[in-house]
Amino acid sequence: MNPRDWAFETAVRTLWQEARGEPDEGRQAVAHVIWNRLESRRWGCTLASVCLAPRQFSGWNDGDPNRMAVAEVPDDDRALDHLRLILTASQHASDPTEGALYYYALSVREPSWAKRKICTGRFGNQKFFKEK
């Protein structure tokens, strides 16, 4: 596997951690955040650096149970296949999040950072935001 494939697979597994319980519209919105962050270059210049940036996608944080859970998902898992399609399709698709770089699950209290951002919508069970 070449490094590009590894970076893409890191993004697929990030999508699994962050949106596996979401409807496809929520999964697509999270995929757009990943691509938007890559385009901004603020979190790095590869999919892997964007996804593995410290404290950005909680599933990669030390101690997060999703970190080990995603490591145990087989590469040929059907859910990962579906997420690969979503991630690939969203790269050049129209962005319903309007350039969102952030989001949070509605199951948690609104983070303090959300007050300093512009809400671009709700997709699935998450709210999405971009810079003011």
What residues does each domain of the chain span? Answer: 3-96
Determine if residue 39 is left, alpha or beta; phi over 0 gives left, psi from -120 to 50 gives alpha, anything else beta: alpha
pTM of the model: 0.94
The predicted structure's pLDDT at residue 86? 97
What the block records as the tokens of 102 is 């952030």
CATH of domain 3-96: 1.10.10
- 1 has pLDDT over 90: no
Q: What is the pLDDT of residues 36-49, one digit of tens each?
A: 999 999 999 999 99
- 50 has pLDDT over 80: yes
The predicted structure's pLDDT at residue 4? 56
